[in-house]
Amino acid sequence: MSEFSLQQALNLALRHACEDDDRVLIFGEDVGRLGGVFRVTDGLQAKFGEQRVFDTPLAESGIMGMAVGLAMAGWRPVPEIQFDGFSYPAVDQIVNQVARMHYRSRGTLPMPITLRLPSFGGIRAPEHHSESMEALFAHVPGLKVVSPSSPAEGYHLLRQSIADPDPVIFMEPKSRYWQRESFDPDAPAEQLPVGTSRIVRPGKHATLIAWGAMVSRCLQVAELAAEDGVELEVLDLRWLKPIDADGLAESVSRTRRAVVVHEAPLTAGLGAEVSTVVTERCFDTLRAPVQRVTGFDVPYPSGALEDEYLPSIDRILTAVQTTLEYRRG
Amino acid sequence: MFATAADGTKLWYEHAPGPAPVLLLHGFASDSRRTWGDTGWLRALGELGYVTMDLRGHGQSDKPVTGYSPDGLAQDAIAVLDAAGLSTVDVVSYSMGGIVAWQLAKLGRVRRMVLGGIGSKPAAREDLLLVQEKLGGEDLSACVDGMAGSRIEGTAPVPVLFAAGDDDEFAAGAPEPFVSLGKRHHFNAVSSRAFKQAALEFFGS
Amino acid sequence: MAEVTVPLPDLGEGLIGAKVLEWLVAEGDWVERNTPLVEVETTKSAVELPSPQSGRVTRLHVEADEELAVGEPLVTFTVDDDQAGIVGTVPAEKKPSRRVRLSLPED
**So what's the pLDDT on residue A279?**
98
Contact yes or no for A188/A154 (Cβ under 8 A) = no
Contact yes or no for C11/C18 (Cβ under 8 A) = yes
Q: What is the pLDDT of residues A26-36, one digit of tens each?
A: 999 999 988 99
CB of A8 within 8 Å of any CB in chain C? Answer: yes
**So what's the pLDDT on residue A188?**
66
Q: What is the pLDDT of residues B65-123, one digit of tens each?
A: 999 999 999 999 999 999 999 999 999 999 999 999 999 999 999 999 999 999 888 88
A209 CB-contact burial (10 Å; exposed 0-12 / middle 13-18 / buried 19+): buried
- Determine whether the interchain pair B134/C34 forms a contact, defined as Cβ–Cβ distance below 8 Å: no
CB of B95 within 8 Å of any CB in chain C? Answer: no
For chain A, the first-to-last Cα distance in angstroms comes to 53
**So what's the pLDDT on residue B118?**
94
CB pairs under 8 A between A and C: 78
Which residue, among A168, A173, A172, A134, has the nearest Cα to A273 in the 3D structure?
A134
- Amino acid identity of residue B104, one-letter, is L
Residue B205 predicted with pLDDT over 70: no
Contact yes or no for C48/B188 (Cβ under 8 A) = no
- Determine whether the interchain pair C46/B134 forms a contact, defined as Cβ–Cβ distance below 8 Å: no
**So what's the pLDDT on residue B174?**
85
Which residue, among B25, B23, B76, has the nearest Cα to B203 in the 3D structure?
B23
d(CA A41, CA A15): 9
Q: What is the pLDDT of residues A288-325, one digit of tens each?
A: 999 999 999 999 998 889 999 999 999 999 999 999 99
Distance (Å) from the alpha carbon of A185 to chain C's nearest alpha carbon: 19
Q: State the chains in contact with A (3 or more Cβ–Cβ pairs under 8 Å).
A: C
Contact yes or no for A58/A87 (Cβ under 8 A) = no
Query: Which residues 6+ apart lie within 8 Å of A226 measured at CB?
Result: A232
pLDDT average, residue stretch C45-70: 90
From B43-47, B156-160, B199-203, the region with the lowest mean pLDDT: B43-47
What angle in degrees, to the nearest 10, is found between the helix axes of B70-84 and B97-106?
A: 70
**Helices and strands in chain B, H and E counts:** 7, 8
The DSSP letter of residue B166 is T
ipTM of the complex: 0.81
Which of C 48-77 lie inside 8 A of B, CB atoms?
A: 48, 50
**So what's the pLDDT on residue C84?**
54
Contact yes or no for B123/B147 (Cβ under 8 A) = yes
Residue C13 predicted with pLDDT over 80: no
Which residue, among A90, A85, A44, A40, has the nearest Cα to A67 in the 3D structure?
A90
Residue A69 predicted with pLDDT over 70: yes
C-alpha triplet B54, B57, B61: angle, nearest 5°: 45
